[in-house]
Structure 1
């Protein structure tokens, strides 16, 4: 990966796809506030079909619980904008995207409140998670300022950057 002085969403998504392709690993995504934006960014990159298995846009609580396996007691206690919810979403994405009984190598989860109305946490609050078979990392709370779209775009960009960071870190640790 060549460092850049500026980066676009496409640049970061391209890095993610190239890292996954080189290591022959797969990715699944579980999105809430980003509404499919992470998948849109990833699948804009040529060759994404080699490593991106798919994703779930779990905008409602029942989908988070029933499809991704997010603990309903956790949601009742903390709400959906929480680090542990993002972690369980990322882990659930890996399971949901299993092919022939083999889970996706990586899962990415995004949850937060893009507004305009406050839904338990401050508007702009975001949590992200990346799950692998042996570890799940979470980040947040982030506080993204601006309009609904600016919060969503900030979350997508940060999610891709954190995923890239995890992929580079894993590669460095296995070398």
Structure 2
């Protein structure tokens, strides 16, 4: 997969504002979300659960920081990891799909999944520069990945930018779906 690194200008909204929109949209639709995180190490889950009432829409998730956990818990393809490494669009998509699966229970499917994978630093990983990020979103209608993004700044800034981008992508997917369904 050959792709250009994209620069995405970040919004001035707070993470809480975006997470609040996501939770409200999920609640209005009677839908749920599960999360699988690597470089963000739980920050997407923390953002979602900072919103009052989030427990009605947020199911849970996993921090799969170690590569074997991506395979064992999320069913990310070992052959893909061997060929491309974990910093890859298809890995983000499979993580999002895995998030939906592991947060499904009692016959109630989790509607949406988010997957984040990338390099927060301090060094390159799998030949990818610091700041390289992929985000996956999964739904019953399919899965999609965005990236590679190249976020700049400190390790913490890269992680924050990833959380904002992941939640913004889910918010857009929810909004686009609502427009189509109306």
TM-score, with length taken from structure 1? 0.96
1-structure distance, mates of 2:22, 2:132: 24
Match of residue 138, structure 1, among 127, 145, 156? 145
1:169 aligns with 2:179: no
**Aligned residue in 2 for 1:83:** 89
1:103 maps to which residue? 109
Q: Deviations over 1:140-166 (max 9, x none)?
A: 000000111111011011111001001
Q: Which deviates more, 98-107 or 150-159?
A: 98-107
8 Å contact 1:114–1:123 — kept in the other structure?
A: yes
Offset, 1:139: 0.4
- 5+ residue gaps, structure 2, are 1-10
Question: Quick check: 1:67 aligned with 2:98?
Answer: no
What secondary structure, in the 3-state scheme, does the structure 2 residue paired with 1:67 have?
helix
- CA displacement, residues 13-67 of structure 1 (integer Å, 9 cap, x when unaligned): 0000000000000000000000000000000000100000001100011110000
Map of 2:158 onto structure 1: 151
TM-score, length of structure 2 as denominator length: 0.92
Q: How many residues align?
A: 171
Check if 1:122 corresponds to 2:164: no
> In the alignment, which residue of structure 1 is the partner of 2:18?
12
Cα deviation, residue 133, structure 1: 1.0
Distance in 2, Cα, partners of 1:150 & 1:44: 19
Any conservation in 2 of the 1:96–1:103 contact (CA below 8 Å)?
Answer: no
Structure-2 separation of matches of 1:118 and 1:170: 36
2:54 is the counterpart of 1:48: yes
